[in-house]
Structure 1
C-alpha cells in the first residue's frame, strides 16, 4: 500500500505529458478531386431563334462513348436532346438552335450533360424568352452640314440602336446597332433625308451593307414622304449602311435663308451704286 501514492502520481504525470502531444496534432486533408465532367454555355440568356453554344471537358475519356446533352424547360419538360463525340483530350462543344414547338415557355432552362455511367453528370442554367423583345422608338438625326433635323422612326428586335449618322460623301445613312441576338430592324426613312431614284425619276432600290457585306432587305415599301425598309441581322453585327442616290441637300433652311439674304443684299447694293453683273451692251 505504500507504493500507491507514488503510482498515482506517476500516472497523473504521464497524463499531463500526453495532453500537449494530442493538442499539437492536426488532421490531414486532401484537395478536392477535379470534377468528372464540366459544362458551360456562351451566354446567360437567350431568345427564340438564338444559337446556344455548350462546351466543357470530361476527365476520363472512354473511346466510343458518346456524351448526351439534354435541355429542360422551367416545368422540367425535355425540349432538346443530342449525342456528340468527345475529343481525345476530353473537350467537347456543341451548338443548339433554340427553335421548335417545345421552345415556348419563358423562364429558367437547365442544361444537363451525361457521359458514361449515370453518375458522371454536370448541369448549368440559362434564362430564355420565347418572344423577342420589340423596341419601337424614333431617332432624331441631325445633319452637321445643313443643321437640318430628321426623325427616323424604327422598330427593332434582337438588339438596340446606338446611333445614326449621315455620310454625305457616300450618300448613305449609317445605323449603329448592339445586336444581342439574331433579329430585324425596320426603318422609316424620310425622302427628304435619303432617297434612291433611277435616271427616269422612279424609285430605285437602296444598297444595304451590314459590316461591309451587301445584303437584301427583307421587305420594302414607300409612300410620297417615306421609304420603309426591314433588314435582317445576325448576333454580333454592328453597322447597317443604307446607300441611296441622293442625301439631304447641302443647303438646309438656315443656309438657304443666309444665301437669300446675301443675294437680296447684293441686289440692293447694285441698285444703289449702279453696279451691274452683266455688260449693258
Structure 2
C-alpha cells in the first residue's frame, strides 16, 4: 500500500513538472515578418511567415493598417509546410502618410499575429546635411548625409580597410543616406569602372565577428559623388562602408582588399530573413 502511495506521489509530481515547464521549447503557433524594416513609395512590401499547425484549404488573412486606417487586405494561400508569403505594392491612394504601419495576420481565433514597418512617401533628400571626416595628415572632407530614426555621432577612417566607420545613435529602425565624394572615398575597379561597396553593420565596435554584411541601394550617382541608402535597426550602432580607397594615396592594394572582402563575405541576416533586402 505504501509502495502505491509513493508511485502516485511521483506521478503527480511529474505531472506538475510537465505542466509548469516553460513553453520555450514549443514551436510558435504563427510568425510573421517583412523583408525589411523601412519602405518608400513604390517599393514592394514582402510579408512572409509560418504557421505551426495548418488546416487544409484555410488561407491566412493579412491586413495592413496605418493608425486606425485599413490600407489593404489579402487572403493568402498557406503551403503544405505552413509557410506563406505575399507582396504588397506600397503605392496608391491609401499610402499617403509617413509613419509606422502594422501588418496583422489572422488564421484562426487563437492564431493572430502582427508586426510593423516604417513607411515614407519619399526617400530621404540626399546630402541635406554634412559631417566633417578627418583624414589623417591630410585635412578633412565633408560627407553629405540624411538620416531617419537616429543620428550620426562620429565618422572615422580605417585606412587599413579603406573604409569609413560611422557611429550611430539609433532611436528606432531607420534609413541612412550618405553622399560620398569620389575625390576622397570611392570603390573603383581596376579598369576605372564603379565597384560595389561592402556595407557591414554591428552593435559592438570591438566584436568584428558579429558584424554582418547588408545590402544597400545606390540611389544617386554622379561624376564626382555616389549616394548610398542603408537601412538599419534599433540595436545597430556601427556602420562600416568599405571601398577601394580613402584618398588615392591610401594604399596601392586597395582593390585587392575589396575583392577579397567581396569573395569572403557571407550575408548573414539580422532580421528574420536570411539576408536584408533593399
**Higher RCO (Cα < 8 Å, 6 or more apart):** 2
Determine which structure has more spread, i.e. the larger CA radius of gyration: 1
TM-score, normalisation: structure 2: 0.49
